[in-house]
Amino acid sequence: MQITDRIHALKIPFQIPVAPGKTLERFVYVYLIVGGEICIIDSGVQNTSAVIFDYLKKLGRKPQDISLLVLTHAHPDHIGSARAIHAATKCKVAAHPDAKAWIEDVEIQFNERPVPGFHALVGGSTPVDRLLHDGDVIDLETVALEVILTPGHARGSISLYCKEEGVLFAGDAIPQANDLPIYDDAATAVASIKRLKGLSGIEYLLASWMDPLAGAAVYKMMDAGLEYMQRIHGAIGEIAAKGKVDDPMELCARMVQILGLPEIAVNPLIAKSFVSHLHSDGSVKNLTFINGAG
């Protein structure tokens, strides 16, 4: 799918095994910036490299034209084909320092965050050639990408703003309302969404777990993400007001029921998201969402 003259989007479906005989259907987007050289933003899951290379052939380009792969963060559906792309093209791989360890040694990530089906999603470890920091600019000849640190969803999460095209590549920084809430820290996740919302001139929002958006829908999606986080926070506050919940999985099960999420959402990853709204003593953190509302 072509978004602008230079930017293309590839939608990559994949499955996550959640129980014997049961899988969760998901998708993730990979983005290509096509110029004299080609930059790829995120690599998708394992075997996405073949889809990317086939798409380039249809454009009359070859894999070796890829000079840079930028990873918005280190989760499996973003780094899954990084090793294959790097091996085939010898491109540079760029990421934030806080994501580096999980990219360069995927077994560290698996031990610290054992996602179901991890090794089916990730093709292996990849060296990071370039470290990206908040405020850095990636010069791609005809366009430039401003690096914006947007932590919360994951360690070392970044977004990329291409002012020339009015395009924001947001990774997973903006949660999708009523979808699975996955973030490491609620407070920083909210702050990151608000920071992105403060950018002016965004014409296209290119995120990972939602279809590309344009025009007024861009900022509406950011508002919807904040409202979803606020709804979650409010429900956790009501639960906490009735007494401390010591078991994260119990809190998760109650929240999944309140939010109307599928039963498979009762798992440690989602539980971690809900627990991040609380202090260690079980009290609710003071978070500011929209118009000063907590």
> Does residue 291 fall inside a structural domain?
no
pLDDT-based confidence at residue 24 (cuts at 50, 70, 90): confident
In a domain, 244, yes or no: no
Assigned token pair, 119: 């090794």
Residue 21's pLDDT is 74
In a domain, 247, yes or no: no
The predicted pLDDT at position 142 comes to 84
Which residue matches tokens 């930059």?
A: 39
> What is the Cα–Cα distance from 248 to 102, expressed in whole angstroms?
25
The band of 16, judged by pLDDT with boundaries at 50, 70 and 90, is: confident
Give the model's confidence band at 293: pLDDT under 50 very low, under 70 low, under 90 confident, else very high: very low
Q: Which domain holds residue 193?
A: 7-234
Q: Is residue 2 part of a domain?
A: no
Tell me whether residue 93 is in a domain. Answer: yes
**pTM for this entry:** 0.95
Q: In what order do the strands lie in the sheet with 7-19?
A: 7-19, 22-34, 38-41, 66-70, 92-95, 130-131
Nearest residue to 32 via CA among 41, 23, 45: 41
What CATH number is associated with residue 20? Answer: 3.60.15.10
Compute the average pLDDT of residues 103-120.
95
